Amino acid sequence: MSNWTRDFFIYLSQNKFLNESAKKWGFRLGAEKFVAGTTIREVVPVIKKLNEKGIHVTLDHLGEFVNEKKEATLAKEKVLEMLDVMHNENLDSHLSVKLTQLGLDIDFDFCLENMKEIVERAKEYGIFVNIDMEDYSHLEDTFNILFELRKESDLVGTVVQSYLYRTADDMEQLKDVRLRIVKGAYKENDDVAYQSKKEIDANFLKLAKQRLLDGKAFTSIATHDHHIINELKQFVEENNIKKDTFEFQMLYGFRQEMQYALKEEGYAFCTYIPFGQDWFGYYMRRLAERPQNLQLIWKDMLYD
């Protein structure tokens, strides 16, 4: 996809008016293929089906860039409710959260307090909490919140992005932390991030290999890119890396057959399942990444 098309969808993903409006539209533009439902109750059968195949899931109640305390508190309540359901239904799952949904843009301490409540409940249930990484302007605060939370529980980790120049250094500080490695989904300037796919992919491989060799904490390799997956599979074989030290992760609705195949080949696998009414920003980033998803828009417009 050309850079301007990618930039256009990323711009849409951050447009507050469209994000707000989309909550009232219901799923549109093919989003239902990538967002598993609107409520946790609707999503439980989807999770159970994946669990039956031995696939672990990480659950994300969609939402980001919240500017009002009331809304952030509501988001926290939803996450607490999710944790109760995950525990009561005995789901093989963990939590993914975005800090801007929980008030990071309002006030650091307010967000930290919200996260402390979430982490405390998750710890009671033995559920791991992963903090998604958002755009670069939130990176330092995300790490600071992570380190505060880890004073209370080890069951908290985060995400590192291979498009950032600094990630290798960050990973030095995060050797004991469970991490998800991704390429990065936001638009960042060339003073902080690689711009070409070639460099981003090369850095992904370098970071993932180093991390797998270190083997100090669990790693999630999150990509739909079969070139990267195949190279890492070979690397794991050649270096006798234990299969219980890492997993592959993909997003719900993407490359379903490959998700099942990796599991059947004996790799730990986790599907990232987003749900909720706040689907617009998430879905626009998926369109920015993959032109083929656009076809679903045309279909939707023609048949809706």
Where in the sequence numbering do the catalytic residues fall? 132, 180
Instruction: Give 69 or 170: the residue with its C-beta nearer to ligand FDA.
Output: 170
Of 56 and 121, nearer to ligand FDA (C-beta) is 56
Site residues (vs ligand FDA, CB under 6 A): 132-133, 159, 161, 182-186, 222-225, 249-251, 254-255, 272, 289-290
Is 185 labelled a binding residue?
A: yes
The reply, when asked if residue 286 is annotated as ligand binding, is yes
User: Closest separation between CB of residue 295 and ligand FDA, Å?
Assistant: 12
Tokens 């370098």 -> residue: 206
Task: Output the DSSP codes for the chain.
Answer: --HHHHHHHHHHHT-HHHHHHHHHH-S-TTGGGTS--SSHHHHHHHHHHHHHTT-EEEEEE-------HHHHHHHHHHHHHHHHHHHHTT-SEEEEE-GGGGTTTT-HHHHHHHHHHHHHHHHHHT--EEE----GGGHHHHHHHHHHHHTT-S-EEEEEETTBTTHHHHHHHTTTS-EEEE---S---TTTB--SHHHHHHHHHHHHHHHHHH-SS-EEEE---HHHHHHHHHHHHHTT--GGGEEEEEETTS-HHHHHHHHHTT--EEEEEEESS--HHHHHHHHHH-GGGHHHHHHHHHH-
Please indicate if the annotation marks 224 as binding a ligand: yes
- The minimum distance between CB 191 and ligand FDA, in angstroms, equals 18
CB of 98 to ligand FDA, least distance (A): 8
Nearer to ligand FDA, 88 or 195 (CB): 195
Q: Is 133 annotated as contributing to ligand binding?
A: yes
Q: Is 184 annotated as a binding residue?
A: yes
- Going by the annotation, the residues of the binding site for substrate are 98, 285-286
- Going by the annotation, the residues of the binding site for FAD are 133, 161, 183-185, 197, 223-224
- Going by the annotation, the residues of the binding site are 98, 133, 161, 183-185, 197, 223-224, 285-286
